[in-house]
Structure formats: structure tokens, C-alpha cells
Amino acid sequence: MKAFLKQRPTGRLLYLYAAIAGAIYPLGLAPLNIWPLLFVSVLVLIALLDNQPTKQAFKIAYCYGVGYFAVGASWVYVSIHDFGHAPVWLSVFLTLVFVLFLALYKGIMGWLVGKAYTLKGQMGFYFTFPLAWLALDWFQGVFLTGFPWLYLGYGLVDSVFSGWLSWFGVQGASYFAVILMLLTYLCLQMVRKSSYKGLIKAPLTALFLLWAVSMGSSLLMDKYSSLEPTTEQSVSVALVQPNIPQNEKWQPELLSTFIHRYHNMTEPLWGADLIIWPEAAIPAVKHRVENWLELWSKQAKASGSQLILGIPVYEAEQQQIYASVITLGDYQQRYDKQHLVPFGEFVPLERWLRGLIEFFNLPMSGMTAGRSEQKALETERFNIYPAICYEIAFSGLFDKFNKSVTNQKDSLIVTISNDAWFGRSWGPHQHLQIAQSRALEYGIPVLRATNTGITAVINHKGQILSKTLQFEQNVLNERFIFKFASTVYSKYGLIICLFLVVILQLLIVLTLLKTQKNK
């Protein structure tokens, strides 16, 4: 790294280095989980962007983004090719368009950093880089339908910095990790500029203290993540993984087969506190299978179970279809998915795209988003925060559920998904890691039921207690002692994080001003 800092690559090699740095970033996330590579990737990007004017900074960061999303999100190819039945060339083209578009988020970040350097020099660069990273992460999560994927904070779930998530959330943890790398870069720069061996000791000592304090702060935050006493409950859960192939799921002639599969798999499970089926478990609209739903509801009531399942719901009066979660048993409720998957559940620019290729005409791709003011679901003992598919990536959804709760019951996150769309790619593993991060943020367990895996039970610390293998028919049927610890983040959201962001940014300015004055 020291040699790299001394002689930075130029010309096209500069863009190649940026793309490689971006490409190693996803290796720090699931399934490989080599989390130090997240820090290395960001450190290299900082070194490449330092002292770069606006246009050059945009190009460097854009190339970084291309590598970042090409490796981290190219699993969309599986959906387009395997299930959208697009030819290879078209699947590659559409995946490339997807990657090149997402890379603009990093490119814009680079442009902002370069502009700040052009206007204010080093002070502008150091001040803007962490803010631009945070702002573009946020924008990536809300623009159009939002794509809150590949955040640095997700990779901290199984790292020594996991404690940050319970105080600052995923995006806040990402910001502080970037600050850590910015300060690391400054220390390495001081080492590089030190002519005498004796002068090297000070920045190296500062670097050691920086990492020691950062790790120590995470351990303390993990220990004191909850402001309230931790509660504990014994819960028996049964998560059903039917392993229905995606290319068979919506074939009408197989509906009866799949209904009987669920029925038979669930028969020995009655009596469990919570029985959970995956997203769109029944591949038919709700009113077509009311007889079965009534039967299962009666069985749930008789056995003291609560059955939670995903099913499409058609509202004849509005002529709209919703991707829904319903509960059967003593408590009968419904939640409609708010964050729909583009092309999978609705088609953007439908008037022009619908029917062009099979990928733009997938089954159930004409759905309507649910109301944003929906409340958490309930069972006798718990509040249930439902999340369908990639809704688990939208932390704000759970903030709303938190605020909607008025009782004293403990809360659980129940997320149901159908990751068959992504085959054996990294997508399902990344999806599971996001669920782990939600558990850490809110200090509550997460129950994750999927069609083909990875079905999992996650505790309040984001640790996986039990999980299935992919592409096997299985049931997670166990009793767990769950702990519930309402975290600082669940109480205050981003307020504490934003307060510290302001303080840190002011400290950066004051430090840089003092440095310039000493010069």
C-alpha cells in the first residue's frame, strides 16, 4: 500500500485499478464474507480520488462502481436468462445496462468529491468524501423504487464492528467505516511523507490507536446496545421450505400438487407457536383457494398455532392485485407489500415495455403497492413486522412498524421470500445477510421462510441459529429461547447517527484548518 501511495497509476491503468477495487468490494459481503476487503476497497478508492479534478474523479468513481455492481449484483442475469427466457446476448446486454446505470451512483459521488477538491482543495476532498458516500447510499435506496443493496454496513454483521449497527443502523455504520478508512489513509500519508524513521512512529501509533478505539467502541456499543432490560421468551417455530421450481410454480395444472405439498408438510407441525410459509406460497389468488384457507385456519385455531403465509390477493372492486401476507388462526390479518420488485411485480414504463420480451411479461408482474400506513401484525404473544422479499432491505419500513405498536408485546420480524429467481448466485446469500443486519439494528429475532432457501432463524444479535441448505425440501421445526433487546437505533433511528455525523464533519474541518495554519 505504501508503494501504491507513492506512485499512483495514471491513464487507463487508473481506471483499471478503480474497477478492480470496486470488484473486490463484494467479496467482503456474503457469501464470502471477507469483510476486511470492504475496507481495502474503500481505502484504494480514496487514494485514487485524492487530488483529482471533477471530471477525472467522476470517471474513476464510475469505473469503481462498474466493478462494484458487476461482481456484486450481476445475479440479475439469472432472473433475466433462466426465468425471463431472454437469449444469452440479450440477458448479458440487460445485465450490463443495469450495472452501468447503478454505477452512476458511485460516479456522482466521485463528481461531488472532485468538485469539492477543485473548489476547496484537500479540505474539500476530506470533508466531502464520507458525506458523499452516505448521501449516495441513501439516494440509491430511494431513487425510483430504491435498491438498498451492497451497503458496507451489511458486511459488518459478522465483523468486529457489528456493534455499530445497533446504534447507527446499516447506513450509519457504513459512514463510520468510511471515516475510519479516511483517517487510515491520512495516517498512511503521514508515514509516506516522513523522511526519518523516528517521525514514522507518531502516525503509526495514531493508526494503531485509531483502529483500537474503533474496535473498542463497537464492543462497547454491542454490550450497551439496549436502553431497556432484555426480555426472553421460549418460542416454537416451524419454517416450511417446499422447494418448488420457479419454472413450475405458476403452471395452473400443478396448483393442486403444490397445495397438497404444503398441506402434507404442515400436518405434523400443528401445535408450533408460529408456522411460516414463504412468499406467494400458494400460486393462486386468495379467493380461489378460500376452502383450503378456512381448513388451515381451523387447524391453526384447534392446535394453538398461528399460520403466516404469502399469497396474491385480488381486490375485485379496485381491480388490483396485491402481494400479501395473511395470518390464519386466532388472529386473521393481512399485510400488502409496499416495495414492489421492478419487472418481477410491476413493469416500469409498462405501456412501452410490456410484451416486448418474456422478461417484461412475467407471471404476477402487474401488482399494486400496498398502503404506506399499514401497521404491524399481531399474534397472541408477539407483534409481527412483515417483510416480503426485498422489503427486508428497507430499514424505514421497520421504523414505521415500530411506531405503530401500542402494546407491550415483544416483536419479531417475519420475512418471506422466493429466492428461486436468483438460482445458485450470490443473491440469496446477500439477501440473508441483509436480514441479519435488520436483527442487529432492532435487537429482535428474524424468522426467514423461503421457497428454495436459504430459510433461517436469526437471533437479536444477527447470528444465524439454524438454517436450511438451498434447493432441498425441508422444515426448520425447533424451539428457541429468543431474547428481545430494543436497541438505541430502534429507539432513535438516525438521530444519534446524524448528530455524530455533524460533530465528525466539524472535527474534520477544524483539524484541516489547524493543519493548514501550521503550514
Which residues have a catalytic role annotated?
A: 279, 337, 389
Q: In what order do the strands lie in the sheet with 410-417?
A: 377-378, 382-388, 410-417, 446-450, 456-458, 464-467
Q: How far apart are CA 266 and CA 181, in angstroms?
A: 50
Is the Cβ–Cβ distance between 511 and 186 less than 8 Å?
Answer: no
Is the Cβ–Cβ distance between 159 and 35 less than 8 Å?
Answer: yes
Q: In what order do the strands lie in the sheet with 231-241?
A: 334-336, 320-328, 306-315, 274-276, 231-241, 474-484
Residues contacting 50, CB < 8 A, separation 6+: 125, 185
* Segment holding 15, helix H or strand E: helix 12-24
Is the Cβ–Cβ distance between 185 and 508 less than 8 Å?
Answer: no
362: closest CA among 329, 332, 323? 323
Q: How far apart are CA 151 and CA 170, in angstroms?
A: 7
94: closest CA among 113, 115, 75? 75
Q: How far apart are CA 134 and CA 113, in angstroms?
A: 12
Grid cell digits, residue 234: 421460549
Grid cell digits, residue 472: 432441498
SS3 string of 90-153?
HHHHHHHHHHHHHHHHHHHHHHHHHHHHHHHHHHHHHHHHHHHHHHHHHHHHHCCCCCCCCCHH
Q: How far apart are CA 62 and CA 114, in angstroms?
A: 12
Buried/exposed code over 33-66 (b: 16+ C-beta within 10 A; e: otherwise): eebebbbbbbbbbbbbbbebebebbbbbbbbbbb
Grid cell digits, residue 304: 394453538
Q: How far apart are CA 324 and CA 327, in angstroms?
A: 10
DSSP state of 470: T
The full length of the chain comes to 519
CA dihedral 193, 199, 202, 207 (to 10 degrees): 40
Q: What is the DSSP string of 178-243?
A: HHHHHHHHHHHHHHHH--SHHHHHHHHHHHHHHHHHHHHHHHHHHHT-BSSPPEEEEEEEEEEE--
Partner residues linked to 479 by β-bridges: 236
Is the Cβ–Cβ distance between 278 and 241 less than 8 Å?
Answer: yes
